Amino acid sequence: MIKPFQLLDLYLGWRRKRRTRAGEASGVLLLSCGGLGDMVLFALILPRFLDLAAGGERVSVLVRGDATRMTFVFPQRVEVRSVDFGRLMKDLGYRRRTCDELFDAHYRLVVSCDYLRHPYLDEALVAACAAPETLAMEPRPWAKYDRALRRNRGLYKRLYDSGPPRLDKVVRWTRFADWLTGETRPPPMVRLPEAGQPPPEEPEAPTVLVQPFSAVREKQSPASLYARIIEALPAGRRVVVTGTPGDLERNPEFLPLLELPGVEFDQSTFADLVPLLRAARLVISVDTALMHLAVAVGAPTLCLASAAFVGEIVPYDPAIAPSNAHFVYHSMPCEGCLGICVLPAEDGVFPCVARLDGDAVIAKVKELMVP
C-alpha cells in the first residue's frame, strides 16, 4: 500500500519537472547521514571531498538532526544543513518544505557519501535536489529496501563499487574520495588537525574519563566492571564519568559509581569536553561517539567494544589507527553483525560484551596508566 509521504514525493517530483530555477547551478552538497560517531570519522576525510568544489563554490554537508552536535569537528568553511529524519516521513509539511529548500538551493553537484542509504529518507533528499550531477557509492545490501534502492539507481549519474560489505568505514570513504577526485592518497589517521582545537584543560589531578553508556544498552559493559576499573586506578586520580542525566535515569545501576572516592559526573556537551579529553591521562569508553572523539583529539583511549562492528568501525583498520587508540573485545564467529545479534542476550547484553575478560581489561588499564 502506498504511503502518504510516497504520494507527496510523486507530486513533488512532478512539480520539479515544471519549475525553473534562476541562474546557473552552483555549489556542492555532501550527504553524510550517519550518527554522532560517523561525524567524527567523516571529518577525517571531509577535506578531500572539499576538493570537488570549483573555486569559491560553497560546500554544504547535510546531516541528521541528531548528529549536529558533533559537526563542530568539521572544517569552518563547511555549511551544515540539518534535517530531522524523525519528522521526514511523519510530517508531510516538513518533508515538503525540506525538499523545496533543497531544490531552491540549486546545487551543481550532489554527492551521497553513505554506503548505507535509506530510499525514503536520504535518497528522497537526493532526488529533491535535482542537481545536474549526482554521484554515490553502490549502496549496502538491505533486504527490506533492496527493491526501492534499485529503483533509485536512476537518481545517480555514476555509482562507485567501494568494496565488500565488511570494510573499514574510513577506508571505504577514502576509496570513494579517490574515485571522485582522481587522486590516490592513503587513508587518514584518526586524528583531527591540531589547529583550531582548544588548549588542554589543566586538571589538579591526573584525570581518567569514563564513558560507560551507549544508545544501544546491549553494548554496555556492566557497572561492576567499571567499579573494578576505578578501584584499580592509582591513588590520587580524578575520575570523571561522562553522559547525560538521561543516561543515569536509564541505567540506575551506575549511580553507585558516583559514590566512589574521587569520582564525579560531567554532562558537558561534546565540544565542551574536548579540553578535558585532551588533558586526560586515559579515556575508557564503550564503542560510541565519545570514544571516536577522544581518539581524534589525541587522548589515550581504551575502548571496551562489542564485536558487532569488527571489520567496519572498531577496532580501526591498521591503516588509520593511531598509537593512542586501544581496543578490547571478545572475538566471535558472528562478529561484524552490525548490532543485529542472532544470539540470546547474556545478562542483558550482547554475548560478545558479556564475555569480555575483566582481568584482561584491568591489566590493560594498569598498563596504559603507567607514565
Give every residue of the chain whose pLDDT is below 50, as ranges: none
- pLDDT score of 135: 98
Is the CA virtual torsion 344, 349, 352, 356 positive or negative? Answer: negative
- pLDDT score of 203: 86
> Residue 325 domain-assigned?
yes
- pLDDT score of 314: 95
174 and 294 together in one domain? no
- pLDDT score of 26: 97
Distance of CA 40 to the CA centre of its chain: 6
Total domains, the chain: 2
> Residue 186 domain-assigned?
no
160 and 297 together in one domain? no
> Residue 296 domain-assigned?
yes
> Residue 358 domain-assigned?
yes
Is the CA virtual torsion 109, 115, 119, 121 positive or negative? Answer: negative
211 and 169 together in one domain? no
177 and 256 together in one domain? no
233 and 311 together in one domain? yes
> Residue 123 domain-assigned?
yes
Answer with the one of 139, 166, 181 that is the final residue of a domain: 181
> Residue 199 domain-assigned?
no
169 and 213 together in one domain? no
81 and 168 together in one domain? yes
Which CATH number fits the domain that encloses residue 227? 3.40.50.2000
| Spatial distance between the Cα atoms of 257 and 254, rounded to a whole number of angstroms | 6
145 and 40 together in one domain? yes
DSSP string, 323-351: TTEEEE----TT---TT---SPPBTTB-H
- pLDDT score of 370: 82
- pLDDT score of 324: 98
Answer with the one of 181, 216, 251 that is the final residue of a domain: 181
pLDDT, tens digit (0-9, with 9 covering 90-100), for 259-303: 999 999 999 999 999 999 999 999 999 999 999 999 999 999 999
Dihedrals φ, ψ of 157, to 5°?
-75, -40
37 and 100 together in one domain? yes
Answer with the one of 119, 147, 181 that is the final residue of a domain: 181
> Residue 316 domain-assigned?
yes
167 and 279 together in one domain? no
Residue 237's domain comprises 207-369
- pLDDT score of 241: 98
Alpha-carbon distance values, 289 to 42, 134, 214, 239 (Å):
12, 29, 9, 19
What is the model's pTM?
Answer: 0.96
84 and 213 together in one domain? no
Burial 166-197 (b: 16+ CB within 10 A, else e): eebbbbbbbbbbbbbeeeeeebbbbebeeeeb
> Residue 25 domain-assigned?
yes
232 and 119 together in one domain? no
- pLDDT score of 55: 86
